[in-house]
Amino acid sequence: MDKQLLTKFYAQRFYPFLKKESGKDITQTLTELMQIIQGSGNLEGFLSHPSFTIYEKVKLIFKSFGKNIDEETRRILYVLIKNNHVMFLRQIIEEIEKISQVKKGIENVEVKSALRLSEEQKTILQKKISVILDKEILPTFIVEEELIAGFVIKIKGHIIDTSIRSSIEKLRDKFAICC
């Protein structure tokens, strides 16, 4: 199975279990565990090594983290260990966050600018885009000097290009057609 399809599959299956009655976010616990696992080459190697049984891997994780992980997190980890997919935990968490954003109505927006924007400029631009879309956004800011000036904003596959580079290319295309 394709890695991207696999991580989406797990994210969709795990998402309903991510909020406990206590309100604690299991995604945060999974992220912390992922950082520990990936930060320890030995642990990551152990979990992906075919010589060790599922029982040995699960036992080590549960013994190591003990009461720090709840039952739902244990179940999620068990499924990933059993299927030898612990190494995809980071991508699964990223997919879970995407699902969460969609459920909350948050829109991912990519904003490219010719110059690095100050925090104040980013905040102003974020608010303006949010008002135009009438929803909360999660912007990603990228500096692309080739734009010369202006912005290129990507929202759900749509592109709003106000850059000087784009204007120059349009003028060049007009002159190429008429002359």
Does the global pTM surpass 0.85? Answer: no
Can you tell me the mean pLDDT for 52-70? 82
Q: How far apart are CA 85 and CA 32, in angstroms?
A: 17
Q: Which of helix, strand or coil describes residue 120?
A: helix
Helices (H), the chain: 3-14, 26-39, 41-48, 54-65, 71-82, 89-104, 119-133, 164-178
Average pLDDT over residues 34-40: 79
Instruction: Report the pLDDT averaged over residues 48-69.
Output: 82
Q: What does the alpha-carbon distance between residue 97 and residue 36 come to, in Å, rounded to a whole number?
A: 19
Q: State which fold the 3-101 domain adopts.
A: Peroxidase; domain 1 (1.10.520)
Mean pLDDT, to the nearest integer, of 83-97? 87
Q: How many CA within 13 A on the CB side of residue 128?
A: 8
pLDDT of res. 131: 92
Residue ranges per structural domain of the chain: 3-101, 105-178
Confidence bin at 22 (pLDDT 50/70/90): very low
pLDDT of residue 166: 83
Q: Residue 179's pLDDT band (boundaries 50, 70, 90)?
A: low
